[in-house]
Amino acid sequence: MDRQTKAYLCALAAVLCWSTVATAFKLSLRYLSVAELLFYAAIISSIVLSLILIHQKKWSLLRQSDRSDWRRSLLQGALNPFLYYLLVLKAYQLLPAQQAQPINYTWAITLSLLSVPLLGHRLGRMEVIATAISYGGVVVISTEGEVLSLSVSHPLGVALALGSTLIWAFYWILNARDRRDPIVGLLCNFLCSLPLIGLYLLVTDGFRLPPLAGLAGALYVGCLEMGVAYVAWLMAMKYTRSTARVANLIFISPFLSLVFIHYLVGERILPSSFIGLVLIVVGLLLQSLGSRQKAGRQQRHRVPPAGD
């Protein structure tokens, strides 16, 4: 099997995992509170990531982490998984999965907007158009097609879903500056977040013996969504000869997710949810195209340093 085939298989495995996440969240929240699901899933993810590090013979990298690494993980762990998943899971608790999942998918648009004040980036014309189209899709979804009335059935749920994209985008910017091995950094973040999640659970719901069905859901979320999918995607990026070709596979995920939501959660998929998702994905594709065009222009106009 050649490297590109391995890349496609790893990417498809990650996409399949992420496609089932909305369903897993919704089903698990029938048995567990938001804090309980996050707490047990984070523990399981920490175990899975530890086993992956041991399998890859990278455990020594974790032991080499210094104080600055752990301080970084304290901040990053507070953002993800703690705050990010609190907002995401609460949004899934309040919203139909067919609404929460596509809205959460706009994090890449949020990232481009957040990059303006934080990184000094400028939005190109294509990126502005992409932002308008994607957030137009959010309006279609959140109003269930009643766009002119602007009547949102679950305003708090929509606000939480959009807020989660802000947390994730900010986390991504911080994480992009982290020079540690990605899996080592993620494990450190999860380990640092566990006391925060445990304290939140103690204060809000308290500890109880969770039902078996809830634990099964937490096992699935922690193992696949928070662990295996992330590692599979990293491996796909490592093996591929064309990052863009593999990255485009991610756009399969939200549409496949609607199928699982319909058949496993039992939601009747509204036309507005599908139309809104199409608008969001079109916006993301346009944003990606705009970013590549901007990068190409910058490369063509780069002033070569002395000696080039």
Three-class DSSP category at 267 = coil
307 occurs within a structural domain: no
What's the token pair of residue 164? 């989660």
305 occurs within a structural domain: no
302 occurs within a structural domain: no
What's the token pair of residue 172? 């991504």
304 occurs within a structural domain: no
* Nearest CA among 160, 28, 166 for reference residue 99: 160
203 occurs within a structural domain: yes
167 occurs within a structural domain: yes
- C-alpha pair distances (Å), 187 with each of 118, 171, 194, 262, 287: 26, 15, 11, 33, 31
Domain that holds residue 288: 3-297
Contact assessment for residue 77 and residue 196, using Cβ atoms and an 8 Å cutoff: yes
Rounded Cα distance, 230 and 236, in Å: 10
CB atoms within 10 A of CB 254: 22
Contact assessment for residue 101 and residue 261, using Cβ atoms and an 8 Å cutoff: yes
Q: How many domains does the chain have?
A: 1
Rounded Cα distance, 152 and 144, in Å: 8
Dihedrals φ, ψ of 240, to 5°?
-70, 150
18 occurs within a structural domain: yes
- pLDDT one digit per residue (tens) for the chain, 308 residues: 778 888 889 889 999 999 999 999 999 999 999 999 999 999 999 999 999 999 999 999 988 888 999 999 999 999 999 999 999 999 999 999 999 999 998 888 888 888 888 878 788 888 889 889 999 999 999 988 888 777 787 899 999 999 999 999 999 888 888 888 989 999 999 999 999 999 999 999 998 999 999 999 999 999 998 889 888 888 888 888 777 777 778 888 999 999 999 999 999 999 999 999 999 999 988 887 766 666 556 555 554 444 44
Whole-structure pTM value: 0.90
308 occurs within a structural domain: no
